[in-house]
Amino acid sequence: MPDLVAAYTADNTLTNVGLNYRNNEKAQSGVGKEWIVSIARSTGNGGVTNTEINAVVEYLTMSHGSSGTGDAAFTIGAIGTADGSALTNTSATELVYMRVQGTGDFTPATADMGISNLTVAKVCVFEPAT
């Protein structure tokens, strides 16, 4: 979404505002990066358990690497299922999503904590506009 205040300041006739109407831009608030991360169980191997979700959360919220190199610690913004169904304490679904927020990066291949039949992947990345 264009910055309408800046557009009006630059052109108080609003000519450019009309030109930018419904044009999308890469933009995000100044919170660093946000990812949508999936935690998937291989089909036929049961649901992702609460214990496994917690293992992935613990990995993502702990710092990895040093001096700004390598993975960094993140905040978990939300955890949910694709269809909005409730998570349970024993098994949820074959696919769980998390909103992860931070300024560094993480390596999905190691975020699965070595749990068999579990895959962690970045589904979508939101970054501040450059």
DSSP class of residue 70?
A: S
Predicted local confidence at residue 53, as pLDDT: 87
Predicted local confidence at residue 49, as pLDDT: 82
CATH class of the domain comprising 31-126: alpha beta
**Count of other CB atoms within 10 angstroms of residue 66:** 7
Q: The sheet that has 95-102: what strands, in order across it? A: 75-81, 95-102, 33-41, 118-126
Q: Which pTM does this prediction carry?
A: 0.67
Between CA 114 and CA 90, with CA 43 as vertex, the angle to 5 degrees is 70
Predicted local confidence at residue 88, as pLDDT: 63
Predicted local confidence at residue 16, as pLDDT: 60
**Residuewise pLDDT in 10s, the chain (130 residues):** 556 667 667 766 666 656 666 666 665 555 678 889 998 887 666 778 888 888 888 888 887 665 555 666 788 988 988 778 777 655 556 688 999 888 777 777 777 777 888 888 889 888 776 6
Every domain range in the chain assigned CATH 3.30.70? 31-126
Rounded-to-integer distance, Cα 93 and Cα 46, Å? 8
